[in-house]
Amino acid sequence: MLGPTPSSRDYSYAKACAEDLQNKARRHRSDLQTQKWKELSERLKAGFQKGDAVWLYIPKVQTGLSKKLAHLWHGPFRIDEVLDDFRSPEAKSIISQKADEVDEEDDFGAALVPEDSWEADAQKDEYEVEKILDLIWSKKTRTSKRRREYLVKWKNYDDPEWLPVSQLNCGALLYEFNQGARARARFQSMQAGDDHPRN
CATH number for the domain that contains residue 148: 2.40.50.40
Q: Is residue 20 part of a domain?
A: yes
Q: What is the reported pLDDT for 69? A: 65
Q: What is the reported pLDDT for 24? A: 95
Q: What is the reported pLDDT for 89? A: 65
Q: What is the reported pLDDT for 103? A: 65
Same domain for 56 and 30: no
Same domain for 69 and 21: no
Q: Is residue 172 part of a domain?
A: yes
Q: What is the reported pLDDT for 67? A: 66
Same domain for 20 and 56: no
Q: Is residue 184 part of a domain?
A: yes
What is the extent of the structural domain holding 159? 127-194
Q: Is residue 199 part of a domain?
A: no
Contacts of 154 (CB under 8 A, 6+ apart): 127, 128, 129, 130, 160, 161
Q: What is the reported pLDDT for 28? A: 96
Number of domains within the chain: 3
Residue ranges, the chain, pLDDT below 50? 1
DSSP code of residue 52: -
Outline where 47-126 has alpha helix (H). Answer: none
Q: Is residue 1 part of a domain?
A: no
Same domain for 53 and 43: no
Using CA atoms, how far apart are residues 131 and 41, in angstroms rounded to an integer?
Answer: 78
Q: What is the reported pLDDT for 22? A: 95
**169 closest CA partner among 184, 154, 159:** 154
Amino acid occupying residue 194: D
Using CA atoms, how far apart are residues 163 and 143, in angstroms rounded to an integer?
Answer: 21
Q: What is the reported pLDDT for 29? A: 96
